Amino acid sequence: MKSPQWRKSSYSMTSAESDCVELAGLPTGIGVRDSKRPHTGHLSLDRDRFAGLLRRLKEMP
């Protein structure tokens, strides 16, 4: 099995702090992890739950 290819938003590269999350496609869905602490593990979401999370985040003021 290949290692996940983690990536972060291009928007995070413009910040001096560059605090963000990284995403990776996993065999079971989407992985989400802290870019500053990738060694602490990741959250795995199936694709439907990840889509729901994105919808809720976009609805936030």
Task: Give the tens place of pLDDT for each residue, 16-37.
Answer: 666 788 999 999 999 999 988 9
Percentage of residues in the chain having pLDDT higher than 70: 85
pLDDT for 2: 82
**In-domain check, residue 49:** yes
Q: For residue 15, is it within any domain?
A: no
Tell me how many domains the chain contains. Answer: 1
Question: Three-state secondary structure along 1-61?
Answer: CCCCCCEECHHHHHCCCCCCEEEEEECCEEEEEECCCHHHCCEEECHHHHHHHHHHHHHCC
Say if 13 falls within a structural domain: no
pLDDT of residue 40: 95
Q: pTM for the full model? A: 0.78
**Residue 52 confidence (pLDDT):** 97
- Provide the domain limits for residue 50: 21-59
